[in-house]
């Protein structure tokens, strides 16, 4: 299993959003998480990348518990969170080079230009990120996927703000990754489909705390 989430309990803002949650992502598999806003998709991604810690339960990447991996995290997965972490006063090229240096990948400029061509960004390479539109910014962060060498991709709402042409390109990119043995976990609030993918609908669990005064018998309940 590339990613394994085993009976996870997680609480946010007094609400239990994951109650005994399980998920398994195998090699060359695509899983699309579909759910309403606020159902906890981004929290699930933060949990599986180790930024948040679950109250109970284990999360494993490549059979290793996530909190025991420290230094090699960047070789295991590529995570594109909702905030794209691009600096507005740097150009497209500089942003990507900064990111590449952080994950220890050295490539030549020509190769970077090639990957920029995929989303037709090559003539924008010297523009500042602050001058780009929302969709163009999204494309820049999706270009990171072309450059990364990780097996596991974790994508938070990758199709937001993209035009139809780029959505199809991204789908093709994801399918290619699957064909090469990679696995993808992605979230969406719209009901979209990628061929060969498994779709999971998330619903928020029923609240465990009732309104009766006698139910405040643990400190957890009044937290």
Binding to other proteins, residues 13-72 (CB under 8 A):
13-15, 46, 49-52, 69-72
Q: Which C-beta is closer to other proteins: that of 125 or that of 169?
A: 125
Q: Which of 6, 19, 73, 100 binds other proteins (CB under 8 A)?
A: 73
Residues 6+ apart with CB under 8 A from 59: 3, 4, 5, 6, 8, 47, 48, 50, 65, 66
Q: Does 12 bind other proteins (CB under 8 A)?
A: yes
Measure CA of the first residue to CA of the last residue in the chain; give whole Å: 35
Contact 25, 4 (CB under 8 A): yes
Q: Which C-beta is closer to other proteins: that of 72 or that of 108?
A: 72
Q: How far is CA 165 from CA 21, 118, 136, 141, 189, in A?
A: 35, 12, 13, 17, 20
Q: Does 74 bind other proteins (CB under 8 A)?
A: yes
Q: Does 87 bind other proteins (CB under 8 A)?
A: yes
Structure tokens, 79: 């995570």
Q: How far is CA 183 from CA 26, 105, 106, 140, in A?
A: 7, 20, 24, 21
- Of the candidate spans 25-33, 80-88, 106-114, 169-177, the one that interacts with other proteins by CB under 8 A turns out to be 80-88
Q: Does 82 bind other proteins (CB under 8 A)?
A: yes
Distance from C-alpha of 92 to C-alpha of 78, rounded to nearest angstrom: 19
Q: Which C-beta is closer to other proteins: that of 4 or that of 46?
A: 46
Q: Does 149 bind other proteins (CB under 8 A)?
A: no
Q: Which of 1, 6, 90, 192 binds other proteins (CB under 8 A)?
A: 90
Q: Which of 36, 101, 163, 165 binds other proteins (CB under 8 A)?
A: 101
Task: Provide the edge-to-edge strand list for the sheet that holds 3-12.
Answer: 15-25, 3-12, 56-61, 64-65
Provide the binding-site residues for other proteins, judged by CB under 8 A.
Answer: 12-15, 46, 49-52, 69-74, 79, 81-90, 94, 98, 101-103, 207, 209-211, 213-214, 216-223
């Amino acid at each position: 299993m590339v990613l394994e989430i085993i009976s996870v309990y997680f609480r946010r803002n007094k609400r239990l959003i994951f109650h005994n949650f399980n998920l398994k992502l195998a090699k060359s598999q695509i899983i699309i998480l579909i759910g309403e806003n606020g159902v906890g998709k981004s929290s699930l991604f933060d949990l599986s990348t180790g930024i948040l810690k679950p109250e109970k339960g284990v999360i494993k990447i490549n059979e290793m518990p996530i909190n025991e991996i420290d230094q090699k995290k960047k070789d295991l997965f590529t995570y594109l969170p909702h905030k794209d972490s691009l600096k507005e006063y740097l150009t497209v090229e500089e942003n990507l080079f900064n990111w590449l240096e952080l994950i220890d990948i050295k490539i030549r400029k020509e190769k970077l230009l090639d990957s920029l061509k995929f989303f037709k960004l090559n003539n924008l390479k010297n523009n500042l990120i602050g001058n780009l539109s929302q969709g163009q910014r999204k494309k820049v962060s999706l270009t990171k996927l072309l450059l990364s060498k990780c097996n596991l991709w974790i994508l938070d709402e990758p199709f937001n703000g993209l035009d139809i042409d780029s959505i199809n390109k991204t789908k093709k990119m994801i399918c290619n990754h699957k064909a090469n043995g990679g696995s993808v976990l992605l979230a969406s609030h719209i009901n979209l489909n990628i061929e060969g993918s498994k779709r999971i609908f998330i619903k928020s669990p029923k609240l465990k705390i009732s309104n009766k005064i006698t139910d405040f018998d643990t400190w957890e309940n009044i937290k």
